[in-house]
Structures are given as structure tokens and as C-alpha cells.
């Protein structure tokens, strides 16, 4: 008996003016599954990710999360969902530059009403899991790109979401930092049974996923992607 989908989309279309980005896209993501969405620039990858995360609304079609269509959620409910059950990571991390790594990671918990001491203790633990506890007092501008992205991943996972959406999270990193970030992401999400939807145009990155969904001119093609076991050097 197959595992029911945690997140699914059917018949998604989205256009920007007269330019179509998605043309009837469908996708299913099961609990704990790591799905890579690949394709050339302009193929609709980021648009699909934004629709799945409730950041953008499709023109047609339905996104369903835990059995509920997202179009029935108002903006307040969608914002709450992105603070609690969804985690989002962008290419350049988008950490708050005025805050330390610790405070950046603690922020989602503070917004959810967690006492500061408890939020910072939880954030500290997640920084440790991603190997950047030594940077806890540093601001983003004082960290390397790889360290910044691991802090951003810790922030995305600190609320223990059901799904993490990652939009080209290693696009600005060198090959070593890419391996370190992906190894950390795979290890953490396997432990917490968190699903991952990751957008990338790099085969090296897609190889870490359980499954690959390829976009071509706004339509999907499924492809299998064998997971890669990180070496000791990239853990």
C-alpha cells in the first residue's frame, strides 16, 4: 500500500502577463521524501516551488497539503503555515543582516511565542546539528557562503516543519560547500522525517534526492534519481 501524499499539485498553470510559466503541472510529495525539481533557466522551477509553498497562487489547478487545498487558506493561515509546517530556504539564505546566527535561527520560534531562553536553546541545538555553532554570535556578513546557508537551513528546520522548500540553496556555493550543505540537509531531514522539495539546475545537487521531477517549458517529466551517500569528508 503506497504512502499517501503529504503535498500534491494537479493541473497547475501560471502566467506572468502573456508569458506562461507553468502549463498543467502535477507533482506528489510523500512524507519524508526528498524531491529535486530540475530544469533549465526559465522552465518554471521557482514558480512551481512558490505555488507549492503558498507564496504564489496558481492561475488554475490545485495545491493540496495534508488533504486540504491551499486556495481555501487566507493569507493569515498561509503565513502561519510557512512559520510552522513549511520551511523555506533561498539561494542567498536571506538571513537578517543585523541579527547574529543564533538570533536568526531563534526568530521563527520567537514569532510563534516561544520564550527567548527556550528559543535560543533550541536554535543553539540546531546550529550544532548543522556544524555552525561556532558562528552563533556572528552576523551573516562575517560568515562564509556555506556557513550562511547552513544557518539558513537551521532556521528553516528549527520549527520542525513537515516540508522544507529550497530554491537553488547551493547556487552561489563552490563544490565543497555544496557537498557540506547538502550532506547536512539530508542528514537533518532524514532524522526528522521532513519532506524536501529542492529546485536546482545542477545534476550534482539533484543526485542527493530520492526522486527527480524535470520541468521542460512549464510541464513535468518524472525521472528517478538515486540518492547519494555523503562521504565522511562532507558530513
pLDDT digit string, tens, across residues 113-142? 999 999 999 999 999 999 999 999 999 999
Domains in the chain, CATH or no CATH each:
7-228 (3.40.50.300)
Q: Which helix (H) or strand (E) holds 11?
A: strand 7-16
Give me the long-range contacts of 134-139 (CB less than 8 A, separation at least 24).
135/101, 136/100, 136/101, 136/102, 137/100, 137/101, 137/102, 138/100, 138/101, 139/97, 139/98, 139/99, 139/100, 139/101
DSSP symbol at 192: H
From CA 109, how far away is CA 52, in angstroms rounded? 23
> Confidence class of residue 227 from pLDDT cuts 50, 70 and 90?
very low
> Confidence class of residue 2 from pLDDT cuts 50, 70 and 90?
low
Place of cell 547519494: 228
* Secondary structure (3-state) at 147: helix
Place of cell 555544496: 178
- The torsion region of residue 216 among left (phi > 0), alpha (psi -120 to 50) and beta comes to beta
- Sequence length of the chain is 235
Alpha helix segments (H runs only) across 21-159: 45-52, 75-84, 101-111, 116-129, 145-157
pLDDT digit string, tens, across residues 184-225? 999 999 999 999 999 998 999 999 999 999 998 788 866 544
> Confidence class of residue 1 from pLDDT cuts 50, 70 and 90?
very low
pLDDT digit string, tens, across residues 74-127? 989 988 898 889 999 987 768 999 999 999 999 999 998 999 999 999 999 999
Amino acid at each position: 500500500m503506497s504512502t499517501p501524499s503529504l503535498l500534491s499539485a494537479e493541473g497547475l498553470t501560471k502566467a506572468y502577463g502573456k508569458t506562461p510559466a507553468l502549463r498543467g503541472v502535477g507533482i506528489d510529495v510523500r512524507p519524508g521524501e526528498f524531491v529535486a525539481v530540475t530544469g533549465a533557466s526559465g522552465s518554471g522551477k521557482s514558480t512551481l516551488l512558490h505555488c507549492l509553498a503558498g507564496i504564489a497562487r496558481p492561475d488554475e489547478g490545485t495545491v493540496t497539503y495534508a488533504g486540504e487545498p491551499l486556495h481555501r487558506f487566507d493569507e493569515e493561515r498561509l503565513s502561519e503555515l510557512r512559520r510552522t509546517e513549511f520551511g523555506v530556504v533561498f539561494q542567498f539564505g536571506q538571513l537578517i543582516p543585523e541579527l547574529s546566527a543564533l538570533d536568526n535561527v531563534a526568530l521563527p520560534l520567537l514569532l510563534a511565542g516561544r520564550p527567548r531562553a527556550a528559543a535560543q536553546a533550541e536554535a543553539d541545538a540546531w546550529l550544532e546539528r548543522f556544524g555552525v555553532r561556532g558562528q552563533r554570535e556572528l552576523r551573516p556578513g562575517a560568515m562564509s557562503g556555506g556557513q550562511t546557508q547552513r544557518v539558513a537551513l537551521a532556521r528553516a528546520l528549527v520549527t520542525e516543519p513537515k516540508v522544507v522548500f529550497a530554491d537553488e540553496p547551493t547556487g552561489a556555493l563552490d563544490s565543497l560547500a555544496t557537498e557540506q550543505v547538502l550532506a547536512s540537509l539530508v542528514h537533518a531531514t532524514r532524522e526528522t522525517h521532513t519532506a524536501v522539495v529542492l529546485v536546482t539546475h545542477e545534476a550534482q545537487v539533484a543526485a542527493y534526492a530520492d526522486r527527480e521531477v524535470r520541468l521542460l517549458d512549464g510541464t513535468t517529466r518524472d525521472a528517478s534519481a538515486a540518492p547519494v551517500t555523503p562521504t565522511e569528508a562532507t558530513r
